[in-house]
A and B are shown apart, each in its own frame.
Chain A
Amino acid sequence: MRFIPVTCGEQDEMLDSVGVPSIDGLYEDIPVGARLARPLDLPGAMGEIELAAHIEKLAAANEDGSRMVSFLGGGCYDHYVPAIVDSVVSKPAFFTAYTPYQPEVSQGTLQAIYEYQSMICQLTGMEVSNASMYDGATALAEAALMAARVTKRHRVVVSATVHPEWRETLATYVESGTLEVVEVAAKDGVSDGAAIAAALDDATAALLIASPSFYGTLEDLRSLGEAAHEVGALFVVATDPVLLGVLEPPASYGADIVVGEGQSLGNAISFGGPGLGVFACRKAHIRQMPGRVAGRTTDVDGRTGFVLTFSTREQHIRREKATSNICSNHSLNALAAGVYLAAMGADGLAGIGRASVAKAHYLEGALVATGRFERVFDAPFAAEFTLRYRGEATAMQARLRESGYLAGLDLGRFSADDAGLVMFAVTERHTRAVLDRFVEEVSAL
């Protein structure tokens, strides 16, 4: 067996030393009723050559982004990943290590996390970032729970313009009654400021807003933040970090906690995971933050080094009093994000943002000009936008798929109220030629 280096002869010697005649003898503590008396009903082993062929066949049965022109977004975006990113995350010393519990032999991971944290703070304007959460949805749910700890209140207000799967995750997390969630309906593709102000009260721990919103619109964060702070609630802002090269950082609007899906920062879409949960907050709240944090310190010889710190918040020490149950996080994805941001630099990131925004606006204008789509929202947008299709959206998407396009996200799949709305995500990878051809196809429908 190729993953076991012990030979049959050595196995016999080992059994001898242990004093059992066969491996079965090691399982005698298992009561007979709990033993499996038959082989596992699974396919047999495959050599790597046959295995590779099988796996390639499964992969080829998918129509991926190298074969289709995709305008799908909704939290997962096809931004370009520089080759250096995969070169770094493919280093065995990074990907075969575990949590840096022994800092003396984990400085690579720890420094990379510290640098990632620093970059997230730069992007969001916050003072502290953790080492990552699972994804944007769980980061949002954890932010709500943290806000409750900070404010000692048990009610959060969430705008319905937050990603529906994130809201559903939040609902699941608080299902046991740990928090009451009040959802406020959207108005014209953005948060309904008046309804939110009315929903906020002095028992509210947090107001949760996404900007860009699920619809791609940019929210009036300033007034929403003021409304939250007026009642003493924390202002939690979900954002798309890859756009923070061109978007004002959430901290400028008074955000107390910033969360986001960090997949776009150097990670493959990979059918939706593993991405990266971004989580940043104010330093004053660090002791209530979930997840791991790396800090800079010195060793006994005075050399600069890094350690996991503020661990007394965490489950391995605090058990049921921990700020979260999270243990394994998405460290390798955070590493990819750090490499991505370092490769891009501030100029590069601004360039990605500028190109994505410009191309999105170009496509939006062109699609509206075909007469097949109409505008539904007045709010500004960045790189993703929502239009109404004048006709049967599903049929339109099926037709265009035959021509090699994944023609946007049909929002009817999330809510009947949004039937007929189609959302398009554009990145720097969409060339003008591709956009023009797509618009021609739409005109020809």
Chain B
Amino acid sequence: MSDADRIDARTAEAGTREPLTGTLIFERGAEESRCVEPPVLDVPSVDLEDVLGGHARAMAPVLPHVTEVELARHYEHLASANFGVDSGFYPLGSCTMKYNPKVDEWACRLPGFARIHPYQPEETVQGALELMWGLQEALAEVAGLPAVSLQPAAGAHGELTGLLTIRAYHTANGDPRRRVLVPDSAHGTNPATVAMCGYEVVQVPSDERGGVDVAALKRLLDIDVAALMLTNPNTLGLFDENILEITSAVHEVGALAYCDGANLNAIMGWSRPGDMGFDALHINLHKTFATPHGGGGPGAGPVAVSDALAPYLPGPVVAQRDGGFAFAYPERSIGRVRSYAGNFGVLVRAYTYIRAVGGDGLRDISGQAVLSANYLKTLLADAWPVPYDRTCMHEFVMSGGPLRKSTGVRTLDVAKRLLDYGIHPPTVYFPLIVDEAMMVEPTETESKETLERFAAVLRRIAEEAAEDSGLLHGAPYSTPVRRLDEAAAVKNADVAWSPGDGSER
């Protein structure tokens, strides 16, 4: 067989292979196929219609019918059409896509953690409570704020918790206020949270160095302002040089300072939000503390607060009591923000990570995250402009505006082209204050070589844009599917398969 024949044979084979995705689990298997056998009934059977008081199901739901091997292959195919941190470089700014240590996954699956019930007597869950207590203490130390609630399920949930805590504090002081200030560079969850808490959002502009415009902030501050919600380091990846002046101006009018801790990975052991003057902070364990993102969750968004806010935290929190550990309910608590005590499985992972790296390790991690971002920024200098160009923290934001002007190639096209090079694109079009934004967060878990390859690829893509913009408009070419019709998705509103929709075999 000649070389040419061999290649042809390969192509023919590839051409007939079933696509990895698109065929639904409902369309696999046969009517009689089973994966799990129903349990053997070892007690007398009951007449469901009778014992359920007429609520027995009349028509069975239509669920997949597959054998285990078909199920295993289905999800293996889906997985192979996915990209995760273990697949390759994932510099998704603001999301801290660092490596997720496997020992954390082992830890949370131990029966002593995975099979305990939230309503067990506290004497029977002392190990779990000790772990939660240890995590509260560690987060309080990193935050520089004394009291922690592990209850919130994610960052946005932490924002809600923190802001409701602030609201309760003002209310208790007989000083209800109406407005919350949010910078124009803020993440969308910030204004959305403010609205959910019944406050009015007032936008604060950024200054030419990418920080809060302090003069503008001072003009907006008055006794009707409940809080300033600030991300620091901010969403441009910059540490706000005026942070002390900002928080003291906020306090001067009786308002409180809330920190969105999404960017804590830059500063652990270097600077603490409590020492910056913040009264409350949420921490994304699924970012800074290496718990996996899970394809969109679950995360955990613990909240750390000052002594003044501590009585308002949602319960339960864990306290030391009689030589052991117990749940406690802060006296003036805002109440729960969810059921049970928190995303415990995620808390186990974060605790395991913190104990693995230790206090000095956390500082080294942040130091390397910041160095890696600055190194990458240096490698890209002159090819990719950074509008607020100064020493960055763990991420930086480039602008695709000039490229768009000169070639018509948008940041979206660049992102799609990166996929062909096996790299997950940075966060795009956020923050809103940068034209054609591309927010790059390499994290400390990437090698120098990976950073260099990314820089080389981005430079190559800029050249491709100049040479052949059509190439980029058409990208990606090598992914399981190519650009998808999002308008049709809304128009057709096909958000659930049903037996009659024609796609059934």
Contact = CB atoms under 8 A, between A and B. Distances in A.
B416 A274 contact: no
Nearest to A261: B339
Contacts of A97: 82-85, 293-295
A59 B425 contact: no
Interface stretch (A130-138, A197-205, A225-233): A130-138
Contact of B344 (A104, A270, A304): A270
A271 B151 CA distance: 12
B415 interface: yes
A307 B21 CA distance: 13
A145 to B, nearest CB: 8
A406 B38 contact: no
A99 B299 CA distance: 12
Interface string A154-185: 00000000010110110111011110000000
A391 interface: no
A13 B334 CA distance: 51
B141 to A, nearest CB: 6
B32 to A, nearest CB: 10
B60 A26 contact: no
Contacts of A87: 72
28 contacts: A6-B444, A26-B391, A27-B271, A29-B239, A36-B271, A39-B269, A40-B141, A51-B103, A62-B126, A64-B112, A96-B84, A107-B82, A118-B497, A165-B336, A169-B335, A269-B115, A271-B118, A272-B117, A283-B493, A299-B482, A303-B22, A305-B484, A307-B489, A315-B189, A316-B187, A342-B66, A345-B36, A347-B34
Given A4-B445, A90-B105, A350-B38, A128 B495 contact: yes
B110 A59 contact: yes
B173 interface: no
A399 interface: no
Query: Which range holds the interface residue count of chain B?
Result: 35 or more
Contacts of B406: none
A247 B55 contact: yes
Given A18-B378, A270-B345, A325 B159 contact: yes
Interface in A98-119: 98-109, 111-112, 114-115, 117-119
B363 A98 contact: no
Interface string A382-406: 1000000000000001000100001
B165 to A, nearest CB: 10
Interface string B248-288: 00000000000000000001111110011100000000100
A104 B484 contact: yes
Given A101-B427, A300-B474, 9 more contacts: A64-B113, A96-B87, A97-B85, A173-B337, A300-B485, A316-B187, A341-B63, A344-B63, A349-B61
A123 B127 CA distance: 37
Contacts of A321: 195
A117 B496 contact: yes
A355 interface: yes
Contacts of B231: none
A163 B340 CA distance: 11
A137 B339 contact: yes
B312 to A, nearest CB: 11
B287 to A, nearest CB: 10
B71 interface: yes
B11 interface: no
A60 B128 CA distance: 9
Interface string B350-384: 00101111111111110110111011001100000
A65 B117 contact: yes
B273 to A, nearest CB: 9
Nearest to B478: A104
Query: Which range holds the interface residue count of chain A?
Result: 35 or more
Given A94-B84, A271-B340, A286-B495, A63 B124 contact: yes
Contacts of B430: 316
A86 B105 CA distance: 11
B363 to A, nearest CB: 7
B476 A104 contact: yes
Given A5-B445, A93-B86, A297-B492, A122 B42 contact: no
A40 B362 contact: yes
Contacts of B53: 218, 379-380
Interface string A59-89: 1111111101010101110101010101110
A102 B167 contact: no
Contacts of B168: 175
A102 B343 contact: no
Contacts of A27: 239, 267, 270-271, 370
A443 B471 CA distance: 78
Given A27-B271, A431-B42, A346 B339 contact: no
B159 A5 contact: no
Contacts of A339: 71, 75
Contacts of B492: 295-297
Interface string A314-329: 1111111110111111
Nearest to B450: A5
A266 to B, nearest CB: 11
B199 interface: yes
Contacts of A103: 481, 484
B57 A247 contact: yes
B357 A3 contact: yes
B117 A244 contact: no
B488 interface: yes
A208 interface: no
A55 B275 contact: no
A327 B68 contact: no
B340 A76 contact: yes
Nearest to B240: A29
Interface in B38-61: 38-39, 41-46, 48, 51-53, 55-58, 60-61
A351 B36 CA distance: 10
B482 A104 contact: yes
Contacts of B400: none
B2 interface: no
B82 A43 contact: no
Find the residue from B52, B97, B244 having the highest chain A CB count within 10 A: B52
Interface in B164-209: 164, 167-168, 187-189, 191-199, 201
A294 B445 CA distance: 31
Contacts of A177: 198
Contacts of A111: 21-22, 24, 78, 81
Find the residue from A286, A310, A320, A339 having the highest chain B CB count within 10 A: A320
Given A33-B275, A297-B486, A100 B295 contact: yes
A346 B90 CA distance: 39
Contact of A107 (B81, B101, B126): B81
A135 B345 CA distance: 14
B85 A96 contact: yes
B302 interface: no
A109 B494 contact: no
A40 B359 contact: yes
Contact of B481 (A64, A166, A299): A299
B493 to A, nearest CB: 7
A437 interface: no
A30 interface: yes
Contacts of A247: 52, 55-57
B357 A45 contact: yes
A88 B295 CA distance: 13
Contacts of A369: none
B241 A31 contact: yes
A57 B134 CA distance: 14
Contact of A23 (B37, B52, B367): B367
Contacts of A127: 496
B483 A104 contact: yes
A444 interface: no
B480 interface: yes
Nearest to A326: B156
Interface string B278-316: 000000001000101111111100000000000000100
Interface in A1-47: 1-6, 10-11, 13-15, 17-20, 23, 26-31, 33-36, 39-46
